[in-house]
Structure 1
Amino acid sequence: MQPGNHSQLPIFLLLGLSEKPEIQSVLFGLFLSLYLVTVFGNLLIILAIITDSHLHTPMYLFLSNLSLSDICFTSTTIPKMLLNIQTQSKAITYTGCITQMYFFTVFGLLDNLLLTVMAYDRFVAICHPLHYMVIMNLRLCAQLLLLTWLISVLGALPESLTMSWLSFCTIVEIQHYFCELPEVLKLACSDTFINNVVLYLVTGLMGFFPLTGILLSYSRIVCSVLRISTTGGKYKAFSTCGSHLSMVSLFYGTCLGVYLSSTWTHDSQTGAFASVLYTMVTPMLNPFIYSLRNRDMKRALRKLLCNTLSPQ
């Protein structure tokens, strides 16, 4: 590709997971199914929490926001991919690409921060049970949620703004099914040093501090649980953290898997397939993890489904 007129907006082409025509219909059916399951599952979690007064607690308030974030997270990439397959078009506008990168980063950061807030909530519930409702009051919960949304919205700005400073060739072919920032940076025709610094800085800060918060919370939780004398008490305390621990392990495990795969292989196509893990699989499995491991959630979902399906 030869550099074109940089005063003219470039055309981005998303090459997707495969360019073979015979498997496009398979990919369309697979990703449409995964997307519908993700949206429907997370929407059920939100509705169950809203309609059941027993779930109007800090833990489920944070969970409903996580489900909303997961719906938005997958919606930034998958609908465009499905549209491109259906219309047999690979094009995405320059503005569309920058916008997709921004919102993808926003909801990725939001997922990360919400998991951190939920870890703090479990820490207070187990280590300070008698003061839980005093500490985790409505005002603090609202402030924590506002802070997570604000940090996510502002934290995604530096990467997107610095992207707008770059110049690209007239036609940019991205070996991915969405505009993933590292992949787009590789294709820039101008110097990307500042962009890479911003990328590593934001990723480092937004990865290190939330993960450190989660690890500190659970280190205190483990110490408190080990002081419980009865086996039943220990099991009950750990069971309240089981769902959240599963979600944390899935989120960081898939992100680490994508990072390692891209580091070891340097193959964009392999990285695109690995990205499916955290863009689709993790948001899809979160509702199943919480509904299968949580008795209150299962009861609320049964109540919601019965009320919905029963004749008036």
Structure 2
Amino acid sequence: MTEPTPVTRFAAVLRADNPGPMTLDGTRSYVLRAPGSATRVVVDPGPDDAAHLDALAAAGPVELVLVTHRHGDHTAGAPGLRERTGAPVRAVDPAHCHGGEPLHDGEVIEAAGLRVVVLATPGHTVDSVCLVLPDDGRPAPADDLAGGGTRPGDAPPGDGTPGDTRSDEAATGGAGSPSGTTVLTGDTVLGTGTTVIAQPDGSLGAYLASLDAIEAVASAGTGRATGLPGHGPVVADLADRVRAYREHRLERLAQVRAALAALGLSAGAHDAVEQVVARVYADVDPSVLGAARQSVAAQLAFLAQSDELARRPAHGGPRAPRHDG
């Protein structure tokens, strides 16, 4: 039976066998505990796969199960893991809680000898959270492939354009110094590629604000904060990755604006999604064409809101979203 592989002082990873264009080489479940703790915390049980759930349960007594967001590749195995371990399952969405209370932004959870801080990061989904381990303090091993890293040739997630693919070296960031902070990012920040923002559950405006929140946490220490993503290899410099994500999103917004102008369309036009996809994502791999449509829909919704706010009187009116450039 496969065992979780340590990636930081407090975290070990177990990769599910569910590879695909949107899951990379599989969903990553994490097993957390402080050295010497008799119990474990599992983050994102993954798919309803008996072998995967058996391996998580065998990693040690499971005290608590936490979920970063509602998507089935992270949550479908939660009931089965609860059956195997008796541990409560907690998520922001009550529909994905089993014997536990919903998670709340800013909550500090004490379990398995650890402090785990809940950071609300909506955008990929409305219920997305990151889980912060402020006391971790060890960077990931240089070779994360032994712990289930991305295999050469795996397809990236995101909007499917060549510019979204980043090499494993860029994803892991090379060797770095410990910062004392590790952040489990779910699908908000990935180890390779970019995150899908799908309307109506996803929101680009909320996502950009969440990147700000993650960067603030990742930049608070004296060294690099480590990111443990739901898919793809460890991110050794989380703040740097977040800045790259923001730059990428703003570049995409500029491309979509330019496409709308060239097409003579408004962001709210009924056929804008298909026309913009055809113009901006002409070379997209068919396997991720749906993700490209979702990304464009989110970008158009953001631009439509920005344009609406910009038309309102400045006096006493709300400001346009800060990231609309």
- Greater fraction of residues in strand: 2
TM-score interval, smaller chain: under 0.3
Greater C-alpha radius of gyration: 1
Q: TM-score when scaled to structure 1?
A: 0.27
